[in-house]
Amino acid sequence: MSNIKYILGLFEDPDDMMHGIDQLQKNNISIYDVFTPMPIHGIEDKLGVKRSRLPIVAFCCGITGTITALSLMYFTMAVDWPMNIGGKPNFALPDFIPITFELTVLFCAFGMVGAFFFKNHFFPGRAPRVMELRASADRFVIAIEANKGFDADKIDSLLKEAGAIEIKHNDRKYVSYE
């Protein structure tokens, strides 16, 4: 039994899985992570996952886009090569609003998605670190790390009671590295 690294509880029903999390937490068993094929609302609070700060990134990137657009147009139209267009002001702000808006959106979207990929270590070709292959299709998986002095039988029975349809004892962390 000593070579077990992770215990996985596979659930068919997200509500049973939530129940399983409650049961484990009641018994002070810490959960390594949960892998699901769809977002589960309310799970972050249960597991104490902090609010994402990505919206802040999005806002900062958006503002950067606004400033970039306005300064680019100010520089080109009013400083570097001012042109007399029908005697109208060189820095014709209303005309510059559409591009300012577009660049705000562009910077915001790319900045936020870039930050999302960076924080999750997402990039094309990254080897997927998957602990259970069916977790992306139809299984809701609770993963428990096998620390020192853990009680495998107790965890198994807790998961079973909560409605797990399968329990796996894995001797390696990721199954996707074949």
Partner 1 sequence: MASHHESILREPLITGKNITYSRITEEVLMPVENKPNRAWWIGFIVAAAGAGLWLFAVSYTFWYGIGSWGLNKTVGWAWDITGFVWWVGIGHAGTLISAVLLLFRQNWRNSINRSAEAMTIFAVICAATYVVSHMGRPWLAYWPLPLPNQFGSLWVNFNSPLVWDVFAISTYFSVSLVFWYVGLLPDIATIRDRATGLRRKIYSIMSFGWNGSVKTWQRFEIVSLVLAGVSTPLVLSVHTIVSMDFATSVIPGWHTTIFPPYFVAGAIFSGFAMVQTLLLVTRKVLGLENYITMFHIESMNKIIVLTGSIVGVAYLTELFIAWYSGAEYEQYAFLNRVSGPYAWAYWIMMTCNVITPQLFWFKKVRTNIPLSWILSIVVNIGMWFERFVIIVTSLHRDYLPSSWAMFYPTWVDISIFIGSIGVFFTLFLLFIRVLPSVAMAEVRLLVKSSSEQAKKKLMAEGKVKAHEAEYYVESLEKYDSVEQAEYEKI
List contacts with partner 1 (CB under 8 A): 12, 14-15, 18, 33-44, 47, 49, 52, 54-55, 58, 62, 72-73, 76-77, 80-81, 83, 85, 92, 95-96, 98-99, 101-103, 105-106, 108-110, 112-113, 116-117, 119-131, 133-138, 176
Euclidean distance between CA atoms 126 and 145, whole angstroms: 24
Which residues are paired to 79 by β-bridges?
A: none
- Which stretches does DSSP call E strand in 70-165? 140-145
> Which single residue is written with the structure tokens 């509880």?
9
Euclidean distance between CA atoms 42 and 53, whole angstroms: 17
Residue 130 Cβ vs partner 1, minimum distance, rounded to whole Å: 5
> Is 118 strand, coil or helix?
helix
Kindly tell me which of 128 and 151 has the beta carbon lying closer to partner 1. 128
Kindly tell me which of 27 and 176 has the beta carbon lying closer to partner 1. 176
Residue 1 Cβ vs partner 1, minimum distance, rounded to whole Å: 26
Kindly tell me which of 63 and 154 has the beta carbon lying closer to partner 1. 63
Residue 59 Cβ vs partner 1, minimum distance, rounded to whole Å: 9
Q: Could you tell me how far CA 77 lies from the centroid of its own chain? A: 41
Kindly tell me which of 4 and 43 has the beta carbon lying closer to partner 1. 43
Single-letter code of the amino acid located at 142 = I
Residue 30 Cβ vs partner 1, minimum distance, rounded to whole Å: 14
Single-letter code of the amino acid located at 80 = D
Q: Cβ neighbours of residue 90 under 8 Å, at least 6 residues apart?
A: 77, 78, 82, 83
